[in-house]
Chain A
Amino acid sequence: MSELTLTVMRLGFLAVLWLFVIVTVQVIRSDLFGTRVTQRATRRDESRRPPQPRQAPQPAAGRGGGRRRGAPTKLVVTEGSLTGTTVALQGQTITLGRAHDSTIVLDDDYASSRHARIYPDRDGQWIVEDLGSTNGTYLDRTRLTTPTPIPPGAPIRIGKTVIELRK
């Protein structure tokens, strides 16, 4: 066998082996974009956020009256292990729980895997709803039984985690 062929095969094999590694890493890349929680630098991240899925109507269009003046723009975790985390409110539903695909993944023994969700109603008012959690969701001091509008600045407590909506 000629020396040249063998050299080409030798380098070619290494290249193919590395190509496999690189393709594998490309497949893994999707892991990094599992949940969409923005850390602290909210303003900057808002522009970088991937666009909402196409079937999602923009808050202004789908919700008559558009975003209300003085409506909260972000959700802030004020107590618990995720303190300081903020999520921009852009008309999407925010799910909270221990399930890894929640928007905010709570690492809390008192949280259920699908604990609660926060979503805007037709008027752009943000609503918190308990999803049948074991230990309950508290708005101020009262345990939620039905979906309830969130007054500005009211703390929502889930286990050791407290979140607030802010402007």
Chain B
Amino acid sequence: MSTSHVTGSHTTISSGGLPSRRNTELAMLGFAVLIPVFAYANVGLAINGELPAGMLAYGLGLGLLAGIAHLVVRKFAPYADPLMLPIATLLNGLGLVFIWRLDQSRRLKLLNEGAAAPNQLMWSALGIALFLAVLVFLKDHRVLQRYTYISMVVALILLILPMFFPAVYGAKIWITIGGMSIQPGEFAKIIIAVFFAGYLMVKRDALALASRRFLGLYLPRGRDLGPILMIWALSLLILIFETDLGTSLLFFGLFVVMLYVATERTSWILFGLTLAVVGAVAVASFEPHVQGRVQDWLDPFHVVRETGNPNQPAQALWAFGAGGILGTGLGQGHSDLIQFAVKSDYIFATVGEELGLTGVMAFVLLYGLLIERGIRTALAARDPFGKLLAVGLSSAFAIQVFVVAGGVMALIPLTGMTMPFLAQGGSSVIANWALVAILLKISDTARRPAPAPAPSPDAEMTQVVRS
């Protein structure tokens, strides 16, 4: 990857820069479509003893969507990162297989859980459509910078709206419009990353430099603490009024990460962690819904001991345990015992049971690689807004994966969020496709080779004179 080299007797800086790597992406995409088809066949053989009827249609459908996405990337973001699209396609495809696999479960059918895979396929197609729309219509990510404060207002509205809708399963994170349920938090995470990026780009010098040194820490001035306290208060309000741990953690975590990246001051992280712990403990002390979650986390089996009937966290842990190292095989687990929410919040338990530790690690690595590509994009981006936005979007994704996977595995209290791309949920899959599209667009700008500097006539003349 030589970027500067000598040609002929004159020295030039090559404009070649990075190769576009679109063919790598195409090959990886082909691979990413084949794996879910294999999984689909495997589930069919394991459950019904025959190849599923829709296998060809399913493979062609996923391949077609991926192919269209690839062509549009080729046209509108030719220098974009070659790995994000294949990884997202693979995760989405495998998510569809897992949901379809759970649809086949007799136990869930008895509970009147309708088939979710067709809907999820429709949402995925819509998600890819939004992905394409972002690639086509967002000419340059810097345009988003103009909407810094509009995004703040929109994000606030999206976060506050669910308060006025009835709680579903203990958390108010849905809004219902004409029979359709939407989780506005999923979209808010993208919009709020735009606001943080725009805001911190302007304010970062004030936040980083105007501070006093105390005990080796840079203490920010009182008035600079305003924004972080405001976001903290907001996330506490979400926690109290919507009783939603996940959204609250996501927004506060996102803000602290972006604040740290923008100012390079460790003290913000310490402040953030302190505030988060204080807030969480305070809310957990009086909010029964949160208390219940914390108790399930500290002692997942207390319900089993008290009533003899296992609850969801216990079933999820048993599912992981039953999976062992290599898993029971696709379609051969009993994670449907988790019953309700197994296709959404608890889908990672199915992965853990049927693919085992090996499969879980592969999934975690896939998420990690997608996040790494996002952070790498931030490193390569040339404008501060793009850098901050890329960091924000990838850390929102990372925090979400951590919060869900950690919750299902009882590492942290469980929160009602969805595993990106994998879990059932229209809002989630659509929002995450849009998120990947924005990252791709930033990486296209970042990796696009810069135009060669104008040849200076002076150089030739001085050489002639001097020699």
A residues adjacent to B (C-beta < 8 A)? 1, 5-7, 9-14, 16-18, 20-21, 23-25, 27-28, 30-31, 33-36, 50, 52-53, 55-57, 62-63, 91-95, 98-103, 113-114, 117, 119-123, 129, 131-132, 146-147, 149
Contacts and interface: CB of A to CB of B under 8 A. Distances in A.
Interface string B4-39: 111111011100011001001000100110010011
A98 B330 CA distance: 49
A87 B346 CA distance: 52
A57 B129 CA distance: 50
A93 to B, nearest CB: 5
A21 B91 CA distance: 12
B110 to A, nearest CB: 24
A149 B463 CA distance: 10
Contact of A103 (B4, B376, B466): B4
Given A1-B46, A34-B1, A100-B382, A113 B450 contact: yes
Contacts of A123: 467
Interface stretch (B112-120, B275-283, B394-402, B452-460): B452-460
Contacts of A23: 28, 31
Interface string B39-59: 100100110010000000000
A93 B13 contact: yes
A56 B32 CA distance: 39
Nearest to B363: A17
B408 to A, nearest CB: 19
A68 B366 CA distance: 53
A146 B459 CA distance: 7
B369 interface: yes
Contacts of B5: 52-53, 55-56, 92-93
Interface stretch (B82-90, B163-171, B293-301): B82-90
B382 A113 contact: yes
A11 B326 contact: yes
- From A99, A101, A103, A123, name the one whose CB has the most chain B CB atoms within 10 angstroms: A101
Contact of A6 (B31, B87, B332): B332
B355 A13 contact: yes
A93 B466 CA distance: 20
A36 B2 CA distance: 8
B413 interface: no
Nearest to B383: A113
